[in-house]
Structure 1
Amino acid sequence: MWAIAFACAISFMGIGLVDPILPAISEELGASPSETMLLFTSYLFITGVAMFFTSWVSGLIGVKWTLVGGLVVIVAFAALAGASGTVDEIIGFRAGWGLGNALFISTALAAIVGAASGGARQAIVLYEAALGVGMAVGPLVGGALGSLSWRGPFFGTAALMAITLVAILALLRAPRRTAAERAAARAARPSFLASFRALRNPALLALATVAVFYNFGFFVLLAYSPYPMAAAAQAAGIAEFGAHELGLVFFGWGLALAITSVLVAPVLTRRFGLRPVLFTMLGALTACLALLALFVGSLPVLVAVVVVSGLLLGIMNTALTEAVMEATDLPRNVASSTYSGVRFVGGAIAPAVAGPIAAAIGPAAPYWLGAASLLVSIAVLACVGGVLRRVGTPHETAVAEAAVIGTGDAA
């Protein structure tokens, strides 16, 4: 479990790694912000689409070799992205990177939940902590290496993932099974279309819809914010605000996300219940995006609101993932790959839309669109309460919490 969690942290570095170097890539390769933000889109879109099939792949070749295969693909395409000579090449190699990421991430969530001795809740907290650590360290590494060359973060990630690959090969052991257990596992393998059929489940479909609009707002903030920050710094006459400084800002954002994922989210969901926490966080994030739009020309406000939003996003990510794992009777690997697929596709749309909208309307427009998207997610969550009864009650007592954990284990 710990080996997989460590690998998850390194894998999630790939999401925020390019954030600090987007302006540098634009400048050195002669690309527009809209073009460089497609580094997020190609990565997230392929990750999302591939995740619909990862439960079938893991059922066919096993969890360990699905994880290993994903890591091999990530190492190869991260190195190729670093060796690229044009933005189009980087976009293409980031897509291949996304395929490896899909194989690894969705399988890792199911593997951690299955391996944890403390139940689904604790395992999900660990997974989201790994996400937060990766999100925090990714921009820091990207900023440090990107201050030397925009190629540095790509080669650095390839090296770190190669180390992770060795760790998984050495530490992850497949469980020994009897012939009867192997036969039962083969019979229970998800079908090729299992993830698409899983969307027939009303609870999963409802939460997946919430995730689409939520992740649109999430990645507007993550992928677009470096450009208003760089413009605000230039307008304020701050010459020294490049990859290193952006890396520090998003390190603070990711660190805040990691802390609340681990320390705050479990307390809030246990005390108040998942749905009230989801409503509160979505409302607060909407306010953050509105503030970013209103003060898009102020560097101090942009930095402060982005870091504060990390606190909210950490709670939101953990609560939403936990809700998905509790809401249905679907096999964990099917539920996690389906939810993760929809989640990343929603995120992929945001960078592709933010650049053209900013160029056509103004720098505040992407933030207003992100805020509107979060309002839609609130409306969806409000309308589907009937199918989320299993995740709608507070876990105020140890007995109640144990019952919920048991439900998660059964799923």
Structure 2
Amino acid sequence: MSTNKALSILFAVMFLVMVGFGIIIPVIPFYAEELGASPTELGLLMAVYSLMQLIFAPMWGKVSDRIGRKPVIMIGTLGLALSFFLTAISTQLWMLFAARIIGGVLSSANMPTVMAYAADITSEEDRGKGMGIVGAAIGLGFIFGPAIGGIFSKSSLSTPFFLAGIFSLFTFFMVMFILKESLSVENRRKKSPGKSGGLWITLNGPTSIMYFLSFFVTLSLAGLEATFAYFAAEKADLGTTELGYIFMIMGLGSAIVQGGMVGKLIKRFGEGLVIQIGIFVSAVGFLLILFTESFTTAAIFLTIFGLGNGVIRPAVSSILTKRSRTGHGGVTGMISSFDSLGRIIGPPLGGWLFSISIGLPYISGIMLSIIAFVLFRIFSASHSKGISRGY
């Protein structure tokens, strides 16, 4: 199977996974409320999923290094389907929590393993392209998923969950019958379980700074996502329909950049420069958002932020997988874990800052971008060869 064909299949797999995940986003708050959830319990319901991903993503990444990518992706997609079907038939709140926990544990296998698969099948020169395609699939899935969920929720709140389960089940069979294994048996045997890289080793390793950079970038994004609806309503009197269009525009812009441009940019300028440009553009986007006053300005400013934010993750993943000596799965699992940590802390932090001042989450986003930039400069100084250009 050619690299381009494999990447196309990988794009389809990740797109379907994220469509299934996105379908439930506009529905689950109302579904949980129908089962008697308080606002606090709803927050816990959302957080427990990310917590499970934080804990289990590194494990699944390392498992994929030992047994291969395909079986782990199959576990992840089947687990996602199971969690959606369990959610759809839930009649009590504890059942909803159980379904979310199961989904978080099993579906955490998807992201790191798909990223590791992309790293397996791409050369170092094309690594950025592979990571960008995965990122584009995620972005597009998040665009179409919520729209589909909103439409089908009109008949019944449980319908989107059944639909998401069907999407995930279809993805499982697609992986089973079409996707070829990317990690040969010989390469699996080269991985030493005892050296696969636990948390302590990662935090003390030469690339540890890049994981923290990824965390701060995700933290700022999660804070924005949690508060922008309230901010836009206050500053520009925008409702849910307008916000849906704004996030769709941002997502499309980010997906286009990741799928069509980030690979070429990395190949020409190197990951280092792309990361720094991405951080700078994100910070500019945060600053501009403070001046939102209409639908048009909100769409433009949020898209500017999305373009900058969208190129950082593929470039970071490219650097880390290139420097991996213990298996791509362990690396991508740790990236996913740090991202999950950012998504756990980001929403409540953003909400708390918003309660102090509506512009504070975006001012803090600028500060977090500065921290991320400084972290990269420290990393670059300690790994001067092959980073600022061409690596």
TM-score by structure 1 length? 0.79
User: Residues 104 and 286 from structure 1, CA distance in 2 versus in 1: closer, same or farther, beyond 3 angstroms?
Assistant: same
User: Residues 83 and 356 from structure 1, CA distance in 2 versus in 1: closer, same or farther, beyond 3 angstroms?
Assistant: farther
Partner of 1:218: 221
Q: Is 1:366–2:373 an aligned residue pair?
A: no
Partner of 1:111: 117
Partner of 1:317: 313
User: Residues 24 and 74 from structure 1, CA distance in 2 versus in 1: closer, same or farther, beyond 3 angstroms?
Assistant: same
After superposition, what is the alpha-carbon deviation per residue over 1:85-132, rounded to whole angstroms, capped at 9, x for unaligned?
Answer: 677765553343222221121111112322347853432232222223
Q: Is 1:205–2:212 an aligned residue pair?
A: no
User: Residues 161 and 258 from structure 1, CA distance in 2 versus in 1: closer, same or farther, beyond 3 angstroms?
Assistant: same
From 79, 84, 87, the equivalent of 1:81 is: 87
After superposition, what is the alpha-carbon deviation per residue over 1:334-389, rounded to whole angstroms, capped at 9, x for unaligned?
Answer: 2221222222222221123223443x424333333333222221222222222333
From 166, 174, 188, the equivalent of 1:167 is: 174
Deviates further, 386-395 or 337-346: 386-395
- Correspondences of 1:9-408 after superposition (within 5 Å): 9-13=15-19, 16-21=22-27, 36=42, 38=44, 40-84=46-90, 90=96, 93-116=99-122, 119-146=126-153, 150-174=157-181, 185-186=188-189, 188-191=191-194, 194-196=197-199, 198-200=201-203, 202-229=205-232, 231-232=233-234, 236=237, 241-242=239-240, 245-295=242-292, 299-358=295-354, 360-395=355-390
Partner of 2:3: none
CA distance in 1 between counterparts of 2:51 and 2:57 reads 10
Aligned 8 A contact 1:75 1:162 in 2:
yes
Listed as ranges, the gaps of 5+ residues in structure 1 are: 396-403, 405-411
**Matched positions, count:** 384
CA distance in 1 between counterparts of 2:121 and 2:267 reads 22
After superposition, what is the alpha-carbon deviation per residue over 1:264-305, rounded to whole angstroms, capped at 9, x for unaligned?
Answer: 22233333332222122212212322333454x755433432
Aligned-pair distance for 1:47?
1.3
Aligned 8 A contact 1:64 1:174 in 2:
yes
Aligned 8 A contact 1:136 1:254 in 2:
yes
Deviates further, 366-375 or 333-342: 366-375
User: Residues 87 and 58 from structure 1, CA distance in 2 versus in 1: closer, same or farther, beyond 3 angstroms?
Assistant: same
Aligned 8 A contact 1:294 1:364 in 2:
no
Aligned-pair distance for 1:207?
0.5
Aligned 8 A contact 2:195 2:326 in 1:
no
Aligned 8 A contact 2:20 2:145 in 1:
yes
User: Residues 110 and 212 from structure 1, CA distance in 2 versus in 1: closer, same or farther, beyond 3 angstroms?
Assistant: same
CA distance in 1 between counterparts of 2:183 and 2:66 reads 17
Aligned-pair distance for 1:163?
0.6
CA distance in 1 between counterparts of 2:152 and 2:376 reads 41
TM-score by structure 2 length? 0.83
Aligned-pair distance for 1:52?
1.7
Partner of 1:8: 14
User: Residues 176 and 356 from structure 1, CA distance in 2 versus in 1: closer, same or farther, beyond 3 angstroms?
Assistant: closer
* Matched residue SS, 1:389: coil
CA distance in 2 between counterparts of 1:289 and 1:89 reads 39
Deviates further, 75-84 or 336-345: 75-84
User: Residues 90 and 52 from structure 1, CA distance in 2 versus in 1: closer, same or farther, beyond 3 angstroms?
Assistant: same
Aligned-pair distance for 1:37?
5.2
User: Percent of aligned pairs with the same residue?
Assistant: 21
User: Residues 371 and 202 from structure 1, CA distance in 2 versus in 1: closer, same or farther, beyond 3 angstroms?
Assistant: same
* Matched residue SS, 2:193: coil
Letter in 2 for 1:350: G
CA distance in 1 between counterparts of 2:93 and 2:229 reads 18
